[in-house]
Amino acid sequence: MGKATGFMEYDRCELTSIAPKDRIKNFDEFHVPLSEEERRTQAARCMACGVPFCQAGVMIAGMASGCPLHNLVPETNELLYHGNYEQAYRRLSKTHSFPEFTGRVCPALCEAACTCGYVSEAVTTKDNEKDIIEFAYEHGLVDESEPSVRTGKTVAVVGSGPSGLACAQLLNRRGHKVTVFERFDRPGGLLRYGIPNMKLDKRIVDRRIEVMKKSGIEFKCGVDVGKDISAKQLCSKFDRVVLCCGASKPRDINVPGRDASGIMFAVPFLREVSKKVMDHDYDYKKVIGAKDFSFGSLKGKNVVVIGGGDTGNDCVGTSIRLGAASVTQIEMMPPAPEKRAVSNPWPEWPKVLKTDYGQEEAIFCFGKDPRIFSTTVTEFVKDEKGNLTAVKTIKLERKIGKDGKVSFENVAGTEGQLPADIVLIAAGFLGSEEYVTKEFGVDVNGRGNVATAEGRYATSADDIFTAGDMHRGQSLVVWAIAEGRAAAAAVDESLVGYTNL
Overall fold of domain 154-247+430-496 = FAD/NAD(P)-binding domain (3.50.50)
Q: How many CB atoms lie within 10 A of CB 210?
A: 10
Mean pLDDT of the region 328-334: 96
Residue 341 DSSP class: -
Mean pLDDT of the region 372-390: 97
User: What is the SS3 string spanning 292-331?
Assistant: CCCCCCCCCCEEEEECCCHHHHHHHHHHHHCCCCEEEEEC
Provide the pLDDT confidence category of residue 404 given band limits of 50, 70 and 90.
confident
Provide the pLDDT confidence category of residue 1 given band limits of 50, 70 and 90.
low
The residue that leads in pLDDT, 291 or 243, is 243
Q: What pLDDT does 2 receive?
A: 73
Picking from 164, 170, 174, 268, the residue whose alpha carbon sits closest to that of residue 219 is 164
Condensed to tens digits (0 to 9), the pLDDT of residues 111-160 reads 999 999 998 999 999 999 999 999 999 999 998 899 999 999 999 999 99
Q: What pLDDT does 426 receive?
A: 98
- Cα 194 from Cα 385, distance rounded (Å): 31
Q: Which CATH number fits domain 263-425: 1.25.40.10, 3.30.1330.20, 3.40.50.2300, 3.50.50.60?
A: 3.50.50.60
Which helix (H) or strand (E) segment holds residue 394: the answer is: strand 388-400
* DSSP assignments along 191-232, one per residue: HHHTS-TTTS-HHHHHHHHHHHHHTT-EEEES--BTTTB-HH
220: exposed, middle or buried (Cβ count in 10 Å: 0-12, 13-18, 19+) = middle
- Cα 189 from Cα 381, distance rounded (Å): 34
Answer whether 6-138 and 154-247+430-496 agree in fold: no
Backbone φ and ψ for 397, nearest 5 degrees, come out as: -115, 125
Q: Residues 21, 101: contact at Cβ < 8 Å?
A: no
Residue ranges per domain, the chain?
A: 6-138, 154-247+430-496, 263-425
Q: Residues 356, 363: contact at Cβ < 8 Å?
A: no
Indicate the length of the chain as a whole number.
Answer: 501
- Cα 124 from Cα 288, distance rounded (Å): 34
Provide the pLDDT confidence category of residue 401 given band limits of 50, 70 and 90.
confident
pTM over 0.75: yes
Which percentage of the chain shows pLDDT scores above 90? 94
- Cα 273 from Cα 258, distance rounded (Å): 23
Residue 431 has pLDDT above 70, yes or no: yes
Condensed to tens digits (0 to 9), the pLDDT of residues 156-211 reads 999 999 999 999 999 999 999 999 999 999 999 999 999 999 999 999 999 999 99
Picking from 245, 248, 250, the residue whose alpha carbon sits closest to that of residue 464 is 245
Q: Which CATH superfamily, name and number, covers 6-138?
A: Alpha-helical ferredoxin (1.10.1060.10)
Condensed to tens digits (0 to 9), the pLDDT of residues 72-106 reads 999 999 999 999 999 999 999 999 999 999 999 99
- Cα 375 from Cα 396, distance rounded (Å): 5
- Cα 451 from Cα 472, distance rounded (Å): 9
- Cα 215 from Cα 150, distance rounded (Å): 12
Q: What pLDDT does 63 receive?
A: 85
Provide the pLDDT confidence category of residue 289 given band limits of 50, 70 and 90.
confident
- Cα 265 from Cα 216, distance rounded (Å): 36
Compute the CA torsion angle 251, 255, 257, 259 (nearest 10 deg): 30
Mean pLDDT of the region 327-343: 95
Picking from 400, 430, 477, the residue whose alpha carbon sits closest to that of residue 247 is 430
Condensed to tens digits (0 to 9), the pLDDT of residues 46-79 reads 998 989 999 999 999 888 899 999 999 999 999 9
- Cα 162 from Cα 189, distance rounded (Å): 7
Q: How many CB atoms lie within 10 A of CB 5?
A: 12
Q: What pLDDT does 50 receive?
A: 87
Q: What pLDDT does 61 receive?
A: 86
Q: Return all residues near 489 (Cβ < 8 A) that are at least 6 apart.
A: 170, 499, 501
Q: What pLDDT does 54 receive?
A: 96
Mean pLDDT of the region 254-265: 97
**What does the mean pLDDT of the chain come to?**
96
Condensed to tens digits (0 to 9), the pLDDT of residues 459-472 reads 999 999 999 999 99
